[in-house]
Amino acid sequence: MDLSQNAFFREAFLDECAVHAKRDPLDFRLALLAADSRARRVLEAVAKLAGWRERGAAGRHLGIAYAEGWGSHCAIVAEATLAAGRVRITRCYAAVDCGTTVNPSSAAAQVEGGIAMALSATLLEEARVKDG
């Protein structure tokens, strides 16, 4: 199983733990981290970008996740709405600490592509089998 699947399962489980503990998902994650860590900094940065603390309009739902791999740390906030029984992702925010970056535009493109692939896998892709 690769990093994306492990991160998905871990982050979904952390959300369930936060709900059970009656804690905000961001605060729950931050409480598990050292005060001065790269993970904490990317989570705090993406929360600020997304306006996590303000939450905004009714019907605006936010989800947060964190992943680390190959020396990089990444946190994402997805903003979602529900319309006609369907989830719609209206915006994604990302904060990444990948260390020294030789080509920043290539790094940004990789993050954006990863978000597009994750949204596709989560919301759109399907496999249909007919006649066995």
8-24 pLDDT tens trace: 899 999 999 999 999 99
Q: Does residue 4 surpass a pLDDT of 80?
A: no
8 Å CB contact between 113 and 105: no
* pLDDT band per the 50, 70, 90 thresholds, residue 7: confident
Q: Quick one: tokens of 12?
A: 């979904």
* pLDDT band per the 50, 70, 90 thresholds, residue 1: very low
The pLDDT mean for the chain works out to 90
Q: Quick one: tokens of 51?
A: 């306006």
- Measured CA to CA, the distance from residue 41 to residue 7 in angstroms comes to 18
8 Å CB contact between 29 and 55: no
8 Å CB contact between 28 and 16: no
- Measured CA to CA, the distance from residue 18 to residue 29 in angstroms comes to 8
pLDDT tens for 43-75 read 999 999 999 998 777 888 999 999 998 889 999
Q: Quick one: tokens of 18?
A: 């936060």
8 Å CB contact between 82 and 59: yes
pLDDT tens for 92-114 read 999 999 999 999 999 999 999 99
pTM: 0.86
Torsion of CA 11, 17, 19, 25, to 10 degrees: -50
pLDDT tens for 30-47 read 999 988 799 999 999 999
